[in-house]
């Protein structure tokens, strides 16, 4: 096995919390499922997300752009699978999914476990991905309890009873 395969196999064992990052472009909501959302700093509140450079979202997350992230919760595996479906058209990406436009960003905040509104401060290109650092402008918890975790290529509900 080459390094790319062993690297992939290794990282597939790292559980990742599932979030949906969204931005608005040309009057449309563009959204992608990510496991790369992490907290960077509390003062000021700052996160980062790693997105594929060729993905539709990448160009919408340039410095100063506005976006939102929703931490997905229990029972949302179907929503995650739909949003992660490859080759979805730009139009109606969130059709049938409960969301509201963020007050500060206009970006889609889904019905989920928690949400953030962000403005990009730094973008670092690294390999085939971009590291996008976002200042948190607003944050809150949602109505969904529990958590989804991605591991070994599957999204699982890890809500404790
Ligand atoms: C569980 C899961 C986690 C993912 N994590 C990321 C991620 O952290 N960064 C990323 O760019 N794409 C991630 N993807 C892939 C994106 O959801 C999306 O398919 C990809 O960015 C292509 O988007 P596009 O077809 O809308 O351009 C993930 C997909 C799944 C199912």
Taking the C-alpha atoms of residue 28 and residue 17, their distance in angstroms, rounded to an integer, is 26
Average pLDDT value for residue range 4-8: 96
pLDDT one-digit tens code per residue, 54-76: 988 999 999 999 999 999 999 99
Domain assignment present for residue 161? The answer is no
Query: By alpha-carbon position, which residue is closest to atom 29 of ligand 1?
Result: 33
Number of domains in the chain: 1
Q: Smallest Cα–Cα separation from 35: which of 24, 45, 46, 21?
A: 21
**Domain limits at 43?**
15-150
Query: Domain holding 55: CATH number?
Result: 2.30.110.10
Atom of ligand 1 nearest to the CA of 83: 17
Mutate to test the pocket of ligand 1, among 25, 29, 35 (most ligand atoms within 8 A of CB): 35
At residue 88 the predicted structure's pLDDT band, cuts being 50, 70 and 90, is: confident
Mutate to test the pocket of ligand 1, among 49, 52, 147 (most ligand atoms within 8 A of CB): 52
Average pLDDT value for residue range 115-138: 98
């Amino acid at each position: 096995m080459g390094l790319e395969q062993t690297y992939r196999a290794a990282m597939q064992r790292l559980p990742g919390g599932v979030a949906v990052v969204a931005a608005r472009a040309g009057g449309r909501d563009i959204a992608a499922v990510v496991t790369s959302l992490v907290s960077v700093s509390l003062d000021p509140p700052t996160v980062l997300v790693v997105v594929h450079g060729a993905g539709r979202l990448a160009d919408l997350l340039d410095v100063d752009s506005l976006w939102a992230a929703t931490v997905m919760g229990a029972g949302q595996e179907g929503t995650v699978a739909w949003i992660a479906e490859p080759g979805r058209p730009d139009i109606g990406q969130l059709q049938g999914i409960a969301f509201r436009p963020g007050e500060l960003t206009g970006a889609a905040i889904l019905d989920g476990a928690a949400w953030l509104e962000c403005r990009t401060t730094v973008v670092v290109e690294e390999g085939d991905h971009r590291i996008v650092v976002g200042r948190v402008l607003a944050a809150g918890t949602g109505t969904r309890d529990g958590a989804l975790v991605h591991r070994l290529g599957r999204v699982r509900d890890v809500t404790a009873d």
